[in-house]
Each structure stands twice: as C-alpha cells, then as structure tokens.
Homo-oligomer: A and B are copies of this chain.
Amino acid sequence: MGTVTKALELLDLFTRARPVIGLSDLARLADLNKATCYRLATELTDYGLIEQVGSTKEYRLGPAVLRLAALREFHVPTRDAAMPVLQALADETGETAHLSLLIGRDLKAIALAYSSAHATRVMMEDTEILPFHATSSGQAVLAFQPDSIREIILGQALPRLTPHTITDPAEIRARLATVRTEGFAESTGGFEADVHSLAVPLFDALGRCSGGLAVAAPKGRVTDRSRAQIRAALARAGNEITTLWGGSLPPAIATLWRTAA
C-alpha cells in the first residue's frame, strides 16, 4: 500500500461520532506507528485537509476540504443540486432521507435530511460506509453495477450486522434481480434493527449507477399505505436528481417509476 493511501485513510477515521482525534488515538485507530502517523498527519495538516484544534492539539478535518468541494460543485453540481430534493423527500415522507455515492469501492452517505413530522426518527450518526448487502441503498446500487464489480463485492465478507442481515450471496443475488425488476430496494432491519428502508438507484451522465437515494423509517411506523407513498416519493425524487445530474434513467427503470409515481 502506498504512503498516500495510508495518509488518506487517516481521513476516514473522522466520523460524525468521532470528529476530533488526538495523535496517539489516530495512530492506534490506523494501526500505524506513532512517528509515521505524525509525519502523515503533519503533511495533511500542511495542506489543510486536517487541522489541529486548540491547546489539546487534537486533529479534525480542515478547511481545504471545503475549497475542494466548492470547486467540484462548481464543475459537477452533485450535492448542492440534490440537497433541496433530498429535503423535500424527507418532508414529503415525514421520515429520514439520505443520499449516498459510490466512492472507490465503498458506498458512502454524503447528505442527510430529517423531517420534523415525528418525534422519533431514524438518526444516521456514525454511518458513513453503507454495507452493500445490508442496506436498501446498497442493494439498489449493487443491483445496477456491472457483473464484474458486483461479484467482487459479493465475494467479500458479508458480516451479519443484525439477526435479520442477509449474508448468503445467492440470496442477495436473488434480491438484486427483484430490485432490477421492481426499480426499488427494500430492507427491514438488515443494518439497524427496527429500521425499515426503501431505496432507489441514481444514475450519472454516463448512465452508470453512481449512488442511491433512500428513506429510512422506524419499522413500526411503516404500513402498506406509507410504503406506497414512500415509493412514489422516491421515484419522483430519484427521477429529479438523476435529471439534475444530467443523467438518464435506464428505460426499464423509467417505466417502473412512472407507474409508482
């Protein structure tokens, strides 16, 4: 593994639940020698990807990420464009909506929107990496990947995260086929017990499925009626975001979503 990758992996240690990390912790979490970790952290700090805060000298993500994101949004409006749609989706369904993107080999959440309709809502605090096999977003995205990529992912370990997580590759393949014929993915308690979620795939300008859009609700609140409503809202929002991204839906999906919405 290259030095650059090692340095960048430090960035992944920062999460919503753990936004600041001291040098020793950083080294422990990254399984790196403290000296090595210090050098890498110093280089990241010099560039501004992380910064040291206050007298304790702990690290957190730095201002450089803002500049890079602003530049990317200028050229390829992704998050900014999708944000209002995401919030509208949360408002319309009364549940938590989130948007995820395929980054490297992982599916990562990049935006959340909450609804204030209910006092209890699904929070997604420390959820950056969405496991493909255990989440509806993951299944929605996986269903529309090329066979080669899908098989690489299904060949990896598929940890049982809850008693309801599906871990059999064959069973997952069957579900993905269903996702393709229905245009929606559904997961109940596979990632977090008591959370139901529905998701749709999103497509970029080259027709590749590059992300997912999901609505997560407490299991007990989901009825046949609300499921249908969420599906309709997801279809509309998925269509809208894909359009905003300059993408185009596979014709089969477009047809399926039209009937849902």
Contact = CB atoms under 8 A, between A and B. Distances in A.
Given A4-B3, A103-B63, A69 B69 contact: yes
Interface magnitude class on chain A: 35 or more
B72 A110 contact: no
A27 B139 CA distance: 38
A8 B61 CA distance: 15
A75 interface: yes
Nearest to A70: B110
A64 interface: yes
B72 A66 contact: yes
B66 A5 contact: no
Contact of A110 (B39, B67, B109): B67
Given A65-B65, A66-B110, A67-B110, A5 B46 contact: yes
B75 A79 contact: no
Interface stretch (A14-22, A153-161, A217-225): A14-22
Contacts of A60: 72, 75-76
B54 A61 contact: no
Contacts of A44: 4, 8
A73 B112 CA distance: 12
A64 B105 CA distance: 12
Given A66-B72, A68-B69, A110-B67, A43 B2 contact: yes
Interface of A: 2-5, 7-9, 11, 14-16, 19-20, 39-40, 43-44, 46-49, 54, 60-76, 78-79, 101-104, 108-111, 128, 206, 210
